[in-house]
Chain A
Amino acid sequence: DGGITQSPKYLFRKEGQNVTLSCEQNLNHDAMYWYRQDPGQGLRLIYYSQIVNDFQKGDIAEGYSVSREKKESFPLTVTSAQKNPTAFYLCASGRDETYEQYFGPGTRLTVT
């Protein structure tokens, strides 16, 4: 059963702590993406990776970091430098040649 998994679904952290969000796909897609979603603002791209061991900043990369050591995995770390980390985070994967992206179920991060 192919798809994208994100864990956990809900995550709570104290301000000042780094937190890592998991994203795994078994669709054999080369490209993976991280988005942040806030009410009324649609999806904003944080980071993307077109191939293993390579990634690029999106529109709102400040305060975030990623790694892409395996094709299947693209974890996102929300660092203490991110000023407003509370949001819904969505991971996606896709094939470059079609631009189609398939989304995971999302992780809702709350930082207090």
Chain B
Amino acid sequence: AQSVTQPDIHITVSEGASLELRCNYSYGATPYLFWYVQSPGQGLQLLLKYFSGDTLVQGIKGFEAEFKRSQSSFNLRKPSVHWSDAAEYFCARSNDYKLSFGAGTTVTVRA
């Protein structure tokens, strides 16, 4: 089965510091990859997506992600974190006509 692994359950980062969230996917032909963000008690918002082409994709809220086929990874980055970035982040990959989600990484931002 196509799967997604987010190795970090929880990350704490200082405001203004850089952030990197890891995502690994099981190998499959031409995966479509996504990052979503969820604030407490809310739905998920799409941050960015990778379909093909340039392996560095830009998203909303200053986030970017890099697709590395050789490492089966799609890590999310932000150069300077704001307190409002505290949330849960989910990586997802296409799986037939569905999405498979990772278990999520909770980000805490300290002042």
Contact = CB atoms under 8 A, between A and B. Distances in A.
Interface string A19-41: 00000000000010100000011
The majority secondary structure among interface residues of chain A is: strand
Contacts of B51: 98
A111 interface: no
Contacts, number: 50
A102 B42 contact: no
Interface residues of A, number: 26
Contact of B32 (A6, A99, A104, A106): A99
Interface of A: 4, 6, 31, 33, 40-43, 45, 48, 50, 58, 88, 90, 92, 96, 98-106, 108
21 contacts: A6-B43, A31-B97, A40-B9, A40-B103, A40-B104, A42-B90, A42-B102, A42-B103, A45-B98, A48-B97, A48-B98, A88-B41, A90-B44, A92-B44, A99-B94, A100-B34, A100-B49, A103-B45, A105-B43, A106-B42, A106-B43
